[in-house]
Amino acid sequence: MLLKSNYKCLIASTSTLHQEDYLEYLLPTLIDFFKDTNKILFIPYARPGGLSHDEYTAKANSALASIGKTCIGIHTFTNPIEAVYNAKGIFTGGGNSFVLLQQLYKYNLLDALKKSIETGTAYLGTSAGSNICGLSIKTTNDMPIVYPPSFNALGILPFLINPHYLDTKPDLKHMGESRETRIKEFLTYNNEVVLGLREGSWLAMEKEKIHLRGKLSARLFYKNTIEELASGVELNQLLNELKI
């Protein structure tokens, strides 16, 4: 599972922590992460809460303005593929992963995004924007409100992400499945690896290394195994050692 590309990605579980502003906890890290460009191509397709593309872009722009960045919505370009190739920084916001992926297929953007990211364009994803960095969106928590032509995603990461990972609450009265149960069900049908990223965690990807960042540990699921990974761990090396 060697990565041969010039990745520079920040793949976050969530955009917003409880009682904080949008992107607030990530801003100190983003100053350095986006140091080579002040213009960020924003992909608003996931439309959280049904926000329009303009509204969502304004929200991202407002948060990133505080570190001197300007967001330009991909929907404002007549040629979005070209916009992806020309960008030095890209940010895909959260929302609904099905809607996001459907739009990326509709505009034929998956290949362009993948190539752009492989050649070193700084890519920030939060929630749905992180989900699409995995092999597929089969471990999203979102409601399947639209039917994309495939669940396959960018495959920048050699595993799948479960963003907003939630620990099982033993006192829960509701009979819906726990996140752990759902991911275990996924493993019944798919011989792949899933990383449950709690809110406040992110993956910092640089060339061949994928470090778990933030204060929290993350939860790795594969075959019949669950492992708790400490913050700071390098995932590509770990997966090689585990031979998965």
Q: Report in angstroms how near the CB of residue 8 gets to a second copy at its nearest.
A: 26
Q: Which residues bind a second copy (CB under 8 A)?
A: 14-18, 47-50, 96, 98-99, 137-147, 150-151, 164, 166, 173-177, 181-186, 188-190, 199
Q: How far is the CB of 138 from a second copy (least distance, A)?
A: 5
Percentages of the chain per state (helix, strand, coil), in multiples of 5: 30, 20, 45
> Would you say 1 or 143 has its CB closer to a second copy?
143
Nearer CB in complex with a second copy: 68/176: 176
Q: Smallest distance from the beta carbon of 96 to a second copy, in angstroms? A: 6
- Alpha-carbon distance of 128 to 92, in angstroms, equals 8
Tokens 């960095």 appear where? 133
Q: What is the DSSP letter of 25?
A: G
| Minimum distance, C-beta of residue 19 to a second copy, in the bound complex (Å) | 8
Distances (CA, A) of 159 to 37, 74, 187, 236: 29, 27, 12, 10
Catalytic residue among 75, 130, 136, 164: 164
Q: How far is the CB of 189 from a second copy (least distance, A)?
A: 5
Residues 6+ apart with CB under 8 A from 196: 162, 165, 179, 183, 218, 219, 220, 221
Residue listed under structure tokens 């752990």: 180
Catalytic residue from among 116, 127, 136, 201: 127
Distance (Å, rounded) from C-alpha 16 to C-alpha 59?
Answer: 12
Residue number with CB closer to a second copy (88 or 182): 182
Instruction: Dig out the tokens for 109 from the structure.
Output: 């953007």
174 noted as active-site residue: no
Catalytic residue (choose from 15, 97, 142, 201): 142
153 vs 210 by CB, closer to a second copy? 153
* 54: annotated active-site residue: no
- Whose Cβ is closer to a second copy: residue 103's or residue 121's? 103
Q: Would you call 127 a catalytic residue per the annotation?
A: yes
Closest CA to 125 of 147, 105, 146, 101: 101
Cite the active site residues.
127, 142, 164
